[in-house]
Amino acid sequence: MEKREKLYEGKAKILYATDQPDYVIQYFKDDATAFNAAKKGTVDQKGVMNNKISTKIFEFLQSEGIPTHFVKHLSDREMLVKKVQIVPVEVVLRRRSAGSLCRLLGIEEGRKLKNPVLEFCYKRDDLGDPLINEDHIQALGLATPQEIATIREYVFQINELMAKFFANLNLELIDFKLEFGRYKGNIILADEISPDTCRIWEMGTGKKLDKDRFRHDLGNIEEAYQEVLSRISK
Ligand code: UDP
């Protein structure tokens, strides 16, 4: 597999073309941003850890029948993925209250939600990724009703699968963000799944092992990501 030109550079990852039109290389950086990039920094070895963590989670989800863009882990910071057209909607699934939900509804962090809450956000950095609903998605033509139905189904399945996956490691999945893409006419899971995109608390202690350590300057960020990776790798 030959690495070719840079196609796109985002906040935490870079995409490179390859000699095969259907495949691209996803490169994980150490850069971290929060609060719509108002806070910027780097986390030593984050790219290496997130590449490994995402690889393990994609392999697990794929083995459970969820179609993903993951093809293979190539090197410390690179994974080979299918080249998708990203649906410009970020899908958040919440199990306990945290982050923007607390601000939106004026509730305390950590409240167990009576049902999993699925949210859609319009993927627009210039607007701060605003919360939208299915009518907005259809009105703007961001995805078809069929695509949204498929995405909803996958997200609830992924929620059940990932919550069990983390519970087996004595970790509680609090919330997570997913992105989907179109590949040869089908919707598949894309982007990454890592402590950058999930909230993960240690069971029993409630210790935060995710990007909230960076967002709120809680310290020991590298150690937290490493802790998640070590448990996943056992
Ligand atoms: N999230 C993400 N990227 C974003 C926004 C949110 O990966 O651009 C993840 C975040 O890490 C958390 C979940 O989605 O696991 C819900 O995030 P929330 O809306 O609470 O974001 P906050 O306002 O706290 O950044």
| pLDDT of residue 101 exceeding 90 | yes
Structure tokens at 223: 């150690």
Residue 43 alpha carbon to ligand 1 centre in Å: 17
d(CA 123, CA 142): 10
The Cα-based distances of 206 to 191, 194, 202 in angstroms read 27, 18, 5
Q: Model confidence over 192-210: pLDDT tens digits?
A: 999 999 999 999 999 999 9
Assigned domain for 29 exists: yes
Q: 92, 75, 43: which is closest to 210 by C-alpha?
A: 43
Same domain, yes or no, for 213 and 107?
yes
Residue nearest to atom 7 of ligand 1 (CA): 197
Same domain, yes or no, for 62 and 143?
no
Q: How far is CA 131 from the centre of its chain?
A: 17
Q: What is the mean predicted confidence (pLDDT) over 86-92?
A: 98
CATH assignment at residue 11: 3.30.200.20
Q: Model confidence over 14-30: pLDDT tens digits?
A: 999 999 999 999 999 99
211 lines ligand 1 (CB under 6 A): yes
Residue 127 alpha carbon to ligand 1 centre in Å: 15
Question: Mean pLDDT for the chain?
Answer: 98
Residue 197 alpha carbon to ligand 1 centre in Å: 6
Q: What is the mean predicted confidence (pLDDT) over 52-58?
A: 98
Query: What pLDDT is attached to residue 26?
Result: 98
Write the DSSP symbol of residue 208.
Answer: B
Q: What is the mean predicted confidence (pLDDT) over 47-63?
A: 98
Structural domain ending residue among the three candidates 45, 63, 82: 82
Residue 226 alpha carbon to ligand 1 centre in Å: 20
Report the run of H or E that residue 212 belongs to, with start and end. Answer: helix 212-215
d(CA 182, CA 190): 9
208 lines ligand 1 (CB under 6 A): no
Same domain, yes or no, for 190 and 214?
yes
**Parent domain of 156:** 85-221
99, 113 Cβ separation under 8 angstroms = no
pLDDT interval class at 188 (50, 70, 90): very high
Same domain, yes or no, for 168 and 207?
yes
Assigned domain for 152 exists: yes
Write the DSSP symbol of residue 111.
Answer: P
Contacts of residue 34, defined as CB under 8 A and 6 or more positions apart, other chains included, come to 211, 214, 215
Same domain, yes or no, for 14 and 76?
yes
| pLDDT of residue 1 exceeding 90 | no
Total count of domains within the chain: 2
